[in-house]
Amino acid sequence: MSDFIDFYEVLGIARSATGEEIKSAWKKLVCEWHPDTVTDAAKKAAYDQKCALINEAKDTLLKDRARYDEKLQYHAQAGEREAAARAANAARARRASAARAEQARQAEAARAERERREAADRAARSEAARKKLIRERVLRVVIAAWAIVYLALTPKLVTTNLPFGWSDSPDNTFFTIAAVLVLAVALPMFGAMTKVFEFEIPSKRFGMAVVIVACQGVTVFVLLVLAPLIAFLWALLKIVLLILALLFVALIFLS
């Protein structure tokens, strides 16, 4: 297709040119490119080729113009098809390049998001570990402080008077009741507290310390708070019963 020559361009005429216009253009070009007008051998050969092309263009357009025009139109359409194909290929290449760029962008965005989530997870785990360590340290300090307080309260505990005929010092019955209270109330409450405050018992030894503290807390509550309260309520009840008895006697005599 690239070897096809447009004879209209060779003669410098329009495709609608008449036969006379073709001849006139041919005569002008032949005079201009005739080999006899030059003496240099190299130029003479070039002029010879150009003059032969001009003659071929004139002969073709005057003798077989219709057939040549069909070939010219076919080659023009083929050129258009080739240009359209090149444009389509270029468009496909651009779309493929854009798709690859988009895939690369999405992959980079996914990688950045994955790294961000991993960093956030590491930060969250680090923060959770830090808070857990703080809670454990606070709990250890509380247990140590309680141990000091409990040791200071020991003399008071062993001399507390218990109501209802209990002995002057904690006996086996009291400790049995205290143990039941611990198992029934303190431990479930402690388990609930561990969930509320989100801390775990770091070791069995530490867990035993917590259980002992719970038992001690129940002991202190029973001896220093509950026992005096029961004694007070029992004394108040006896006073109320005495007042009711006096009122009953008064009602009998007054009636």
- The parent domain of residue 228 ranges over 159-254
Is 198 among the domain residues? yes
DSSP secondary structure string for all residues of 13-60 = --TT--HHHHHHHHHHHHHHH-GGG---HHHHHHHHHHHHHHHHHHHH
Please answer whether residues 35 and 47 qualify as being in contact, where contact means their C-beta atoms are separated by less than 8 angstroms.
Answer: yes
Is 193 among the domain residues? yes
Is 28 among the domain residues? no
Is 186 among the domain residues? yes
Is 239 among the domain residues? yes
CA–CA distance, 226 with 191 (Å, rounded to integer): 24
Cα dist. 199→36, 64, 129 in Å? 112, 103, 10
Q: Tokens 């040119």, residue?
A: 17
CA–CA distance, 107 with 116 (Å, rounded to integer): 14
User: Can you list the alpha helix ranges (DSSP code H) found in the chain?
Assistant: 7-11, 19-33, 41-63, 65-158, 172-181, 187-196, 204-220, 227-254
Which residues 6+ apart lie within 8 Å of 210 measured at CB? 139, 143, 190, 201
244 CA to centre of own chain: 76
Is 249 among the domain residues? yes
Count CB atoms within 10 A of the CB of residue 224: 14
Per the structure, the count of domains in the chain is 1
Is 179 among the domain residues? yes
pLDDT of residue 70: 87
Write down the pTM of the prediction. 0.33
Is 172 among the domain residues? yes
- Token pair listed for 255: 């009636």
Tens-of-pLDDT digits for all 255 residues of the chain?
A: 456 788 898 888 888 888 889 899 998 998 888 887 887 888 888 888 898 999 988 888 888 888 888 888 888 888 778 777 888 888 888 988 888 989 989 999 999 999 999 999 999 999 988 888 887 787 777 766 766 766 666 555 545 444 444 444 444 445 444 444 444 444 444 444 444 444 455 555 556 666 666 666 666 666 666 667 777 777 787 787 777 777 766 776 775
CA–CA distance, 169 with 112 (Å, rounded to integer): 70
